[in-house]
Amino acid sequence: MEAVIGQLFTGLSLGSILLLAALGLSLTFGQMGVINMAHGAFIMAGSYTAYTVQEYLVSNAEIALIVSLLIGFGVGGLMGVVLEVTLIKRMYDRPLDTLLVTFGVGLILQQAARDIFGAPAVRVVTPEWLGGGVEILGAVVPKTRIFIMLLAVLCVTAIAVTMKYTAMGRRIRAVVQHRDLAETSGISSRGTDITTFFIGSGLAGVAGVALTLIGSTSSNTGAAYLVDAFLVVVIGGLGQIRGAVIAAVTLGLLNSFIEYSTTASVAKVIVFVVIVIFLQVRPQGLFIIRSRSLV
């Protein structure tokens, strides 16, 4: 029983990490139709932001974590806005071009990180209050994993409330569903595009900060989660937050329980096969939304 509980929380924590990495993509890829391969670099930027804040601005690890989450959101968001304004806005009708361009931007950002911070991985000190674990039904769950799960819940709730109850969320949904009609209603589609990209990229920065709690930071930090994040968005259904939540948790649990009885590599292969079979049966994902690419 303890082993089952342990694997359950391991799967939930892995699902939370995937969800944090995929939330931003759910906006930029799912709702705007932009294949942003630089999303992994934005996650990396969030991780290095946490390292920079703790190394040069706030030495207290407890305060540095909170400051890093806020600054990480801003750094990721601003990088996304720069990318959107300089390159993406010229390619909304050419999604495959966005894939190639953002892939190149991601490589440039990775190399820039190596030049600035060096090739060896760096570590961020975990706050003392996140040290150790909590015993739940006989299984010890690391506090850092619980914190990441709570952070994922907070981010999902904030996005869901923003999209459903705020004027900004209504503008984003209107532009996604019908850009021309939204513009005739007085909505600035350009301003909405930039806002959406800022939020989506900012969430990548938050994910990067969270990843520093469970491992070291290097120029490859975000790239390791990029493919899984895209899979979460595709399985959940483009632009569907609830679909992304279900997909991330399911993939996390599948990975955890299969890996328990096999190995990490075998588990990865089995989960990938399951995903391929699922997409053969339901290529549109769990839920469907009418996005710009379908207009």
- Close Cβ partners of 54 (under 8 Å, ≥ 6 residues apart): 61, 64, 68, 124, 125
Percent residues over pLDDT 90 in the chain: 19
Burial track 256-292 (b if 16+ CB lie within 10 A, e otherwise): bbbbeeeeeeebeeebeeebeebeeeeeebbbebebb
- At residue 240, the pLDDT reads 74
Cβ neighbours, 10 Å, residue 137: 12
- At residue 138, the pLDDT reads 76
Cβ neighbours, 10 Å, residue 115: 10
Residue 186 is which amino acid?
A: G
> Over the chain, what is the mean pLDDT?
84
Indicate if the pLDDT at residue 292 is higher than 50.
no
The single residue listed with the structure tokens 């900060």 is: 209
- At residue 46, the pLDDT reads 92
Residue 282: φ, ψ to 5°? -135, 75
- At residue 115, the pLDDT reads 92
- At residue 288, the pLDDT reads 63
- At residue 293, the pLDDT reads 45
Instruction: Give the pair of three-digit tokens for residue 22.
Output: 């995929």
Percent residues over pLDDT 70 in the chain: 94
Q: What is the mean pLDDT of residues 268-285?
A: 78
- At residue 31, the pLDDT reads 66
Determine the Cα–Cα distance for residues 49 and 29; give it in Å rounded to an integer: 24
Indicate if the pLDDT at residue 289 is higher than 70.
no
The single residue listed with the structure tokens 């890996």 is: 259
Indicate if the pLDDT at residue 294 is higher than 70.
no
- At residue 290, the pLDDT reads 53
- At residue 176, the pLDDT reads 76
Closest CA to 241 of 203, 269, 188: 203
Determine the Cα–Cα distance for residues 224 and 205; give it in Å rounded to an integer: 15
**pLDDT tens figures, 106-146:** 999 999 999 999 888 888 888 888 888 888 777 788 888 88
> Mean pLDDT: which of 96-105, 152-161, 255-264 is highest?
152-161
Listed in order, strand segments (DSSP E) in the chain are: 133-136, 139-142
Determine the Cα–Cα distance for residues 225 and 235; give it in Å rounded to an integer: 15
- At residue 295, the pLDDT reads 34
**pLDDT tens figures, 30-78:** 667 777 888 889 999 999 999 999 988 888 888 889 999 999 999 999 9
- At residue 238, the pLDDT reads 67
Instruction: Give the pair of three-digit tokens for residue 248.
Output: 């991330």
**pLDDT tens figures, 162-205:** 888 888 888 888 887 777 788 888 888 888 888 888 998 999 99
Q: What is the mean pLDDT of residues 268-290?
A: 75
> What is the pLDDT confidence band of residue 215, given thresholds at 50, 70 and 90?
confident
Helix axis angle, 223-236 to 264-281, nearest 10°: 30
Instruction: Give the pair of three-digit tokens for residue 256.
Output: 């955890």
CB 200 within 8 A of CB 80: yes
Determine the Cα–Cα distance for residues 211 and 201; give it in Å rounded to an integer: 16
Of 175-179, 217-221, 291-295, which gets the smallest average pLDDT?
Answer: 291-295
Q: How far is CA 219 from CA 119, 228, 259, in A?
A: 7, 18, 27
- At residue 239, the pLDDT reads 65
